[in-house]
C-alpha cells in the first residue's frame, strides 16, 4: 500500500528539482550574455606589445627628466618662497580669499559630498513613517456593504456609513546589495569628491600663475612708458637741433617735420600703453574679486629681475604634485567603478518591503492590540531576462566613458611632461636672447650718439638719426617684452610643477565620517577648510632682487661730453614763430646744441 505514496512523493521531488533547475537557469542565463569590454590603447612612448597591466621598463622619459640630477622640486616651494616680492605675495593672498570662480568650484565639492550621501543611503533600509485618514461610502448590494449593517461591538447598532478609515503603519523598503553594486556606486562618488577637490587645487595653481604673469606684465608696461619718455626726450632734442640747423641756413623744414611727426607718434603710443596698463590692472582686480583700482607694484630694475631658480626633481614627484593629474587619476578610478555598477545590472535584484502598524474605523479602537494590529512583508526578485537593450546600452556607455578617462589621463600626463620641457626650454632660450639683446642695445645707443653728433655737424643726414632712434626704441621695447616672456615662462614652469597646490587640503567627506562626527559637523568639511596661510617673503626688507653687475644704467646719447665745452647758442627771440613747434606742456628742458660756427677740434670719423 505504500508503493503509490512513494511513487507520488518521488514525482513531486523530481518536479521540485526540475523547477529549481529551471529557476536557477533563468537567474544565471542573463548574466552569461554580458557584452565584452573594449580595452584602451597604450599611451605615448610605449611599445606596440605593451601590456597595461605590467610595467614597461623600456618607456622613455623626456630628456629634461633624464638629465635631472637634483631631487629638489620647485613645485614644492611655498608662494612666499618662490616670489620674493611683498606686493605680489599680497596680491596672491587676496586672490585666494576673494576670487569668485574659486568659490564656485568650492561649491562643486559640496555637490560631490551630497552625491556621496545619496549613494550611501541607497544601500541602507528606508523606513518611512506614514498614516492615512480616509472615508468610504459602500453599496448595500456588495459584500462589504452587507457586513457593515450590524456593529459587532454594539448589537443592534449600525456601523457608520460612510465608514471612516484610520491607518498608521510605518513602511520599510530595502534593496539588499547582494552584488556590491550600490557600494561601488558610493565609492565612485567618493572618488569624484576627491577629484572635485583636486580641480580646486588645479584652479588655484592657475590663479597664482595668472596673477603673477599680469603683475610682471604691469611692470613691463611701466618700463615701456619709461622707454617712450626717454625716446620722446631724445627726439625732442633732435627736433630742437633740426630747428637750429634750419635757422643756421644749413637745413630745410623737412627734418623738422619728420622729427616732430616721430615725437607725436611716440606720444600716441604712450597713450595706448597707458590703456594697456588700465586693462591689466583691472584684470588683476577681477582675479582678486575687487572693484577697479590701482595695483601697487615694485618699480625697479626690471631687466635684472630674477625669480627663484628652477629645478624639476623626479618624474614621480610631477605625478604627485600636479593636481590635474591627481584629478584625472581619481576620475579614472571612478569610471572603472561605474563599469562594475553597470555590469551588475545584468544580475538578479531583490527587494524587500514590510509594514507594521494599526488600522481601524474608529480612533477609539485603533490602537487595541492585537485586534487593531496589522503587519505585512513581501520579497521580490527581478531578473532582466527579455528586454535588456537599455541595460546593455548603459554598460557599453560606461565602458566608453572609462576609455575616455584612460585617454584623458594619458593626455594630461603627456601634457604635463610637454609643459615642463617647453617652459624650461623657453626660460633658457629667452635668457640667452636677453644677453644678446643687451649687446644690441649697447651698439644702438652708441649709434644714436654718433648719428646725432654727425647730424649736428652736418656730417650725416637726418634720416640716419631718425632710423637710429627708432631702432633704439624698438630694441629697448623688445628687450622689455623678452624679459616679460622669460618671467612668464618661469611662472608657468612653477605652475606646471604643481606650485601652489598645497594651499587647500582635501578632508574626508562628511558622509564618510563616524556617526558622532557627522552629528557635530553640519557642513561639508571641505567648505570649512581654510587655505594654508601665505606668509611674507623670506627677505621682506629687500624691495627687489639685487642689481646685476652686468646691468648698465640708461645713458643719454645726447648728453654733452667733457670735451664739448663750446658755449651754447642764444635762444631765439620769438619761440612762437617756429613752425610746427611743441607746446609748453610738451617741451622738456634740454641743453641746447653747439652753435653752427663753433666746431670742436676733433670731428667723429665718417
> For the segment 34-66, what is each residue's pLDDT rounded down to a tens digit?
777 777 776 665 555 555 445 544 555 555 554
Q: How far apart are CA 44 and CA 49, in angstroms?
A: 13
Tell me if 148 sits within 8 A of 159, measured CB to CB. Answer: yes
- pLDDT at position 10, please? 66
Nearest to 226 by CA among 263, 270, 268, 259: 270
pLDDT at position 515 over 80? no
CB atoms within 10 A of CB 78: 18
Q: Count helices and strands (H / E) in the chain.
A: 15, 6
Over residues 217-235, the pLDDT tens digits come to 999 999 999 989 988 888 8
Percent residues over pLDDT 70 in the chain: 72
22 pLDDT band (50/70/90 cuts)?
low
User: Is residue 163 classed as helix, strand or coil in its secondary structure?
Assistant: strand
Q: How far apart are CA 505 and CA 98, in angstroms?
A: 18
Over residues 24-37, the pLDDT tens digits come to 656 566 656 677 77
Check residue 362 and report its DSSP letter.
S
Least confident of 68-72, 111-115, 224-228, 526-530: 68-72
Tell me if 211 sits within 8 A of 92, measured CB to CB. Answer: yes
The torsion defined by the Cα of 510, 515, 518 and 524, in degrees rounded to 10, comes to 0
Task: Please compute the mean of the pLDDT values over residues 552-566 and round it to a whole number.
Answer: 42
What sign results for the dihedral spanned by CA atoms 95, 97, 99, 104?
positive
Q: Which residues of 294-314 are buried (b: 16+ CB within 10 A; e: fewer)?
A: ebebbeeebbbbebeebbbbe
C-alpha cell at 231: 625716446
Question: Strand 349-360 to strand 373-382: parallel, antiparallel, or no bridges (unpaired)?
Answer: antiparallel
Q: How far apart are CA 410 and CA 541, in angstroms?
A: 45
Q: How far apart are CA 471 and CA 467, in angstroms?
A: 6
Q: How far, in whole angstroms, is CA 291 from its chain's centroid?
A: 22
Over residues 121-131, the pLDDT tens digits come to 888 888 888 88
Does pTM top 0.85 for this prediction?
Answer: no
C-alpha cell at 584: 609748453
Percent residues over pLDDT 90 in the chain: 25
Amino acid at each position: 500500500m505504500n508503493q503509490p505514496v512513494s511513487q507520488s512523493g518521488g514525482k513531486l521531488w523530481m518536479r521540485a528539482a526540475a523547477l529549481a533547475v529551471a529557476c536557477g537557469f533563468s537567474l544565471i542565463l542573463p548574466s552569461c550574455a554580458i557584452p565584452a569590454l573594449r580595452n584602451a590603447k597604450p599611451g605615448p612612448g610605449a611599445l606596440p606589445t605593451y601590456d597595461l597591466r605590467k610595467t614597461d621598463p623600456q618607456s622613455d622619459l623626456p630628456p629634461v627628466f633624464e638629465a635631472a640630477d637634483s631631487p629638489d622640486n620647485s613645485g614644492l616651494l611655498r608662494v612666499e618662497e618662490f616670489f620674493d616680492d611683498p606686493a605680489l605675495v599680497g596680491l596672491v593672498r587676496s586672490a585666494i580669499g576673494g576670487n569668485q570662480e574659486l568659490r564656485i568650484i568650492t561649491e562643486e565639492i559640496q555637490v560631490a559630498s551630497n552625491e556621496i550621501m545619496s549613494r550611501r543611503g541607497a544601500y541602507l533600509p528606508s523606513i518611512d513613517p506614514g498614516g492615512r485618514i480616509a472615508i468610504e461610502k459602500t453599496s448595500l448590494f456588495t459584500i462589504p456593504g452587507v457586513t457593515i449593517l450590524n456593529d459587532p461591538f454594539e448589537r443592534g447598532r449600525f456601523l457608520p456609513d460612510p465608514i471612516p478609515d484610520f491607518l498608521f503603519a510605518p513602511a520599510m523598503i530595502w534593496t539588499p546589495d547582494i552584488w556590491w553594486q550600490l557600494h561601488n556606486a558610493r565609492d565612485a562618488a567618493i572618488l569624484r569628491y576627491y577629484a572635485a577637490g583636486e580641480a580646486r587645487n588645479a584652479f588655484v595653481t592657475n590663479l597664482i600663475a595668472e596673477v603673477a604673469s599680469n603683475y610682471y606684465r604691469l611692470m613691463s608696461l611701466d618700463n615701456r612708458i619709461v622707454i617712450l619718455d626717454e625716446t620722446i626726450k631724445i627726439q625732442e632734442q633732435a627736433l630742437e637741433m633740426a630747428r637750429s640747423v634750419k635757422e643756421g641756413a644749413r637745413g630745410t623744414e623737412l627734418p623738422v617735420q619728420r622729427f616732430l611727426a616721430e615725437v607725436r607718434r611716440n606720444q600716441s603710443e604712450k597713450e595706448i600703453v597707458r590703456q594697456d596698463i588700465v586693462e591689466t590692472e583691472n584684470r588683476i582686480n577681477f582675479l582678486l574679486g575687487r572693484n577697479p583700482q590701482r595695483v601697487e607694484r615694485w618699480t625697479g630694475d626690471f631687466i635684472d629681475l630674477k625669480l627663484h631658480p628652477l629645478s624639476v626633481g623626479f618624474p614621480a614627484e610631477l605625478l604627485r604634485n600636479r593636481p590635474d593629474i591627481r584629478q584625472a587619476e581619481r576620475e579614472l578610478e571612478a569610471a572603472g567603478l561605474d563599469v562594475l555598477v553597470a555590469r551588475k545590472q545584468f544580475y538578479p535584484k531583490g527587494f524587500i518591503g514590510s509594514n507594521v502598524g494599526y488600522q481601524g474605523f474608529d480612533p477609539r479602537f485603533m490602537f487595541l492590540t492585537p485586534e487593531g494590529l496589522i503587519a505585512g512583508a513581501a520579497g521580490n526578485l527581478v531578473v532582466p531576462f527579455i528586454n535588456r537593450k537599455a541595460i546593455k546600452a548603459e554598460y557599453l556607455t560606461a565602458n566608453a566613458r572609462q576609455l575616455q578617462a584612460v585617454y584623458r589621463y594619458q593626455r594630461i600626463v603627456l601634457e604635463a611632461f610637454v609643459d615642463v620641457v617647453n617652459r624650461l626650454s623657453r626660460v633658457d632660450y629667452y635668457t640667452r636672447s636677453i644677453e644678446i639683446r643687451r649687446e644690441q642695445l649697447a651698439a644702438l645707443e652708441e649709434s644714436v650718439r654718433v648719428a646725432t653728433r654727425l647730424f649736428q655737424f652736418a656730417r650725416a643726414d637726418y634720416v640716419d638719426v631718425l632710423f637710429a632712434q627708432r631702432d633704439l626704441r624698438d630694441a629697448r621695447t623688445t628687450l622689455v617684452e623678452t624679459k616679460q616672456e622669460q618671467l612668464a615662462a618661469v611662472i608657468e614652469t612653477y605652475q606646471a610643477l604643481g606650485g601652489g597646490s598645497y594651499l587647500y587640503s582635501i578632508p574626508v567627506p562628511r558622509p564618510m565620517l563616524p556617526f558622532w562626527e557627522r552629528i557635530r559637523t553640519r557642513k561639508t568639511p571641505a567648505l570649512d577648510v581654510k587655505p594654508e596661510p601665505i606668509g611674507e617673503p623670506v627677505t621682506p626688507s629687500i624691495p627687489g632682487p639685487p642689481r646685476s653687475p652686468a646691468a648698465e644704467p640708461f645713458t643719454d646719447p645726447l648728453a654733452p661730453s667733457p670735451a664739448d665745452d663750446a658755449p651754447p647758442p642764444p635762444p631765439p627771440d620769438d619761440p612762437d614763430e617756429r613752425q610746427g613747434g611743441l607746446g609748453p606742456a610738451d617741451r622738456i628742458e634740454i641743453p641746447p646744441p653747439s652753435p653752427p660756427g663753433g666746431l670742436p677740434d676733433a670731428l667723429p670719423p665718417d
